[in-house]
Structure 1
Amino acid sequence: MPSSPTDRPTTPSTVWAARGRHVGPDADDVLRHHLRRLKDEDTLDDFQELPAAEDSPERILEARWRVPGEVTVRARLTLVPAGDDGSEWTLVAEAEQPWDQSWPSPATLFWPDTPDAAWDHEAVTGLPFRDLTPLPSEDKAIRRLFKEAVRGWAVHVVVHEAMTTDDRGRRPLTRWLPPGLRHRVVEHRAAPDQLRVVNWALRSLGVEVPRGGAVVLPGHPVPPGYDGGDFAVRSVFLDGSEPTELIETVTRYAVLPKPLPDGADEALTALREQWQLLTPEEELARERALVAMYADALAAMTRSRDLYREAAERANEALAAYREAVPGPAAEGPAGAPAGSPFQQLTRTFERLKGSTRTLRPTRAEDDDQDPPDTPGHEVG
């Protein structure tokens, strides 16, 4: 079993995340058109496209909607050109309570949910989400495919056909999955004569697929508590009926607490810390927080000013007392000054001033705390 790094944060139960590839042109136009239509239909509460940076080709869109129970979901999609007239997209959504897989897929709130969708491909392998894909015929290609598959964000399932199936057995399992999983699962099909080669390729992952059964592959890093035997199904009847045990196994793996995959931590942080699609109430609360922050800063500056003024007055008083007590240039220096002399009083006064001014210097963290956050972006009409 591959080792699992322990220094990665665990995916929060409130988060839904996926990465994919749009294989056609004009992906940003497809997004804008679909989002605008859903807002007009009141499916979305609101959406906006953030202003693009001059030196970056990526496009960022935010959307907000509510799922049953009036639970608010906030989602952020990043679109980046990937060459060959295609684009890669990263979508992270977070709800106000733990994610329910029966809720609508966030992917279909950004992309049109059509059978011939150009966006519905896994980012690493390029394979479709809602269809099954036969494994390559070459042994090394199968092994290479599995190594790439487990490093992505999707859930990969390998199904072995015990015998050649008809059209009923060629129906993808994703049609039985709950909506929240249909755009996160990739199904690989192994032909009857590929069982030995497939298990040879899976050996490095510490799992194997039973004859006529299926197995859910571990991700990277491997989720704590994952055991290949617990996520293998011994028999899958490919007769067109619902594979209940397999669907339950895939769903159980999907909700298993697991480390955030590569890049997901940054995407989630951006969603939480750079969110700009605020409601009027959130906008008002933020402005009030800014006013309170500026008021605290002004009060601190006023206190500092008063303390500096008091220190300066003490210094002037001490200097005046010293000049009155030692008027001439032949005044005795500090080494010969008698105890309790005006000179010693002046020295002690300046030492006190030195200590007090150190406490008045603002730290860099306090300066940083006074920087106002970015202003929100504007919605694309």
Structure 2
Amino acid sequence: MSNSSAAPPTIPHTVWLARGRHIGSDDTAEVVRRQLRRLKDREVIDDHLEPDADDAPAAPERVFEARWRVEGTVTVRARLTLPCAPEPGSASGSSSHSHSPPSSSSSEGQEWVLVAEAERVWDPRWPSPATVFWPEDPEDPGNADAGWDHVTVPGLRFRRVNPLPSDEKDLRRLFRSCAQDGWGIHVVVHEAMTPDAHGRQPLARLLPPSLRHCVVEHRATPDQLRSVNYALLREFDFQVPRGGAVVLPTSPVAPSYDVRDFSVRSVFLDGSEPTALVDVLCRYAASARPLPEGGEEAVTALRERWSLMTLEEELARERRLVAMYAEALEAMTKSRDLYRESADRANEALAALRESAGGVSGSFPQSAGSSPLQRTFGRLRDATKGLRPAPPTESDREDPPRDGGKSAEKR
């Protein structure tokens, strides 16, 4: 765990994101292709693209891009990624983080990551990006497990009622896993009494379109209130109201999360629109939620590796590249000029030093193996030798007669 005190990056307000698994006999990529072609033919979307489709077998992931407009003028760009499953026993698979999403495999299905961004703040009433890449109706009505709406937390699905387990340890384990899944919005709903057929229907069908495929509904039966609240207290230090609902926080908890703001006292499971719950879910989706693990990379890939461009966008990109290269060239030119100016000043200083040394002792021989700076200091050393007093001779060093020469005079 990181000891950094910096706040984690939050989901941009223009971004919609989700992650899940596709399970079924059909090839996942082909299911996506059929859906995109269908919507393009019906002019629901403006265009779609599968970048580097020719390199798909060797690529680490498959990518699909699509763009469409909402409200007539607001452009939405979306990128669906199908990560390839790591080889069994590979380094990438063995070094994965403990909170990383489960790897794709034949038994777990194909994992997918979907990120969309609009030109302005995302409106939950807009069509869900999931329905652009995935069919709304079941692919195989005869197989209840088939579909793209499986949550990466095992056993959970979008657009469904997910009954809570009865065992307390399983409850706590599930809540802990849900807190680590920042890609989805997990809400616990308690049934005050056993609902009728209308009340047993999932609440997703009553939610705004953009919330239907990122909200995971957990349902607690009337007699589960005590065990569910005990598990919630142990994991999150709060409880779900009797007959109400509460949105589970992510881990780490967002600074903006307050259980009082994201809980509902009563949810009427009679088929009517849960207005209070919809309001809570919309506010939670719009709050400052931390980007889930892998979310920052997915958003960056959407923004920086986007390939599906119009002619105007390609021209704008080329202009930005030209401006960027021009700035880099200007910076290199300034650096070169500064270096040249410094070199000229150093040469002038060296020439002045040589001139001053030559004025004292003339020209000096240069040793072939020395540098210009060493030769300059060598000349200075030789020049200063001529200015020093001559050392005393042996005769000069003899002490003078103590009698001041009187003995010589007597002789």
The verdict on how the C-alpha distance between 1:55 and 1:217 changes in structure 2, with shifts beyond 3 A counting, is same
Q: 1:235 to 1:302 in 2, by over 3 A?
A: closer
Compared CA separation, residues 258 and 291, structure 1 to 2 (3 A): closer
1:27-47 per-position Cα deviation (integer Å, ceiling 9, x unaligned): 111111111222222222222
Residue number among 74, 84, 94 corresponding to 2:117 in the alignment = 94
Query: Is residue 130–residue 213 contact of structure 2 (8 Å, CA) maintained in 1?
Result: yes
Secondary structure of the corresponding residue to residue 198 of structure 2:
helix
1:252–1:55 distance in 2 versus 1, CA, 3 Å: same
CA gap 1:261/1:113 in 2 versus in 1, 3 angstroms: same
Match for residue 164 of structure 2? 135
Counterpart contact for 2:138–2:147, Cα < 8 Å: no
2:390 is aligned to none
Measure the CA separation in 2 of the matches of 1:301 and 1:136: 65
1:70 counterpart = 2:73: yes
1:100-111 equivalences in 2 (<5 Å): 100-111=123-134
The residue aligned with 1:14 is 14
Provide the residue aligned with 1:219 in structure 2: 250
Alignment of 1:78-227 (within 5 A): 78-80=81-83, 81=85, 82-85=104-107, 86-115=109-138, 118-152=147-181, 153-203=183-233, 204-227=235-258
Contiguous gaps of at least 5 residues in structure 2: 86-103, 140-145, 367-375, 385-411
Q: Distance in 2 between matches of 1:236 and 1:297?
A: 60
The aligned counterpart of 1:31 is 32
Counterpart-to-counterpart distance in 1, 2:341 and 2:221: 86
Aligned to 1:290: 321
1:79 Cα deviation (Å)?
0.8
Residue by residue over 1:167-204, the C-alpha shift from the partner in whole angstroms, topping out at 9 and shown as x without a partner, is: 11101111111011000111111112111111111112
Distance (whole Å) between structure 2 residues aligned to residue 123 and residue 314 of structure 1: 66
TM-superposition CA deviations, 1:286-340 (whole Å, max 9, x none): 2233334445555666674897599689969959x97x996674998123559xx
Q: Deviations over 1:93-141 (max 9, x none)?
A: 1111111111111111111111457111222234121111211232221
Q: Whole-Å Cα distance in 1 between the matches of residues 194 and 305 of structure 2?
A: 51
Q: 1:210 to 1:6 in 2, by over 3 A?
A: farther
Q: How many residues align?
A: 333
Return closer, same or farther for 1:288/1:335 CA change in 2, 3 Å cut-off: same
Match in the other structure for 2:51: 50
Per the alignment, residue 250 of structure 1 pairs with 281
Q: What code does the residue aligned with 2:232 have?
A: L
CA contact (8 A) 2:232 2:239 kept: yes
Q: Which stretch has the larger CA shift, 31-40 or 299-308?
A: 299-308
The separation in 2 between residues aligned to 1:241 and 1:297, in whole angstroms, is: 61
Q: Secondary structure of 1:228's match?
A: coil
Q: Which runs of 5+ in 1 are unaligned?
A: 339-381
Q: CA deviation at 1:155?
A: 1.0
Paired-residue identity, %: 57
What code does the residue aligned with 2:296 have?
A: D
Relative to structure 1, the CA distance from residue 68 to residue 126 in structure 2 (aligned partners, 3 Å threshold; closer, same or farther) is farther
- The structure with the largest alpha-carbon Rg is 2
**Alpha-carbon distance between aligned partners in 2 of 1:33 and 1:120, rounded to the nearest angstrom:** 17
The one-letter code sitting in structure 2 at the alignment partner of 1:257 is A
CA distance in 1, matches of 2:345, 2:68: 61
Distance change (3 Å), C-alpha of 1:229 and 1:302? closer
For residue 168 of structure 1, give the secondary structure of its aligned residue in structure 2: coil
Residue equivalent to 2:97: none
Specify which structure has the bigger relative contact order, considering alpha-carbon pairs within 8 angstroms and separated by 6 or more residues: 1
SS at 2:176's partner residue?
helix
State the AA in 1 paired with 2:106: D
User: For the residues of structure 2 that align with 1:232 and 1:254, how far apart are their CA atoms?
Assistant: 14
- Deviation of 1:232 (Å): 2.2
User: What secondary structure does 1:174 align onto?
Assistant: helix
More displaced stretch, 111-120 vs 252-261: 111-120
CA distance in 2, matches of 1:329, 1:265: 67
Q: Structure 1 stretch 56-65 or stretch 287-296: which is displaced more? A: 287-296
Q: CA RMSD in A?
A: 3.1
CA deviation string 1:58-116 (max 9, x = no partner): 21122221111411111111112411251111111111111111111111111111145
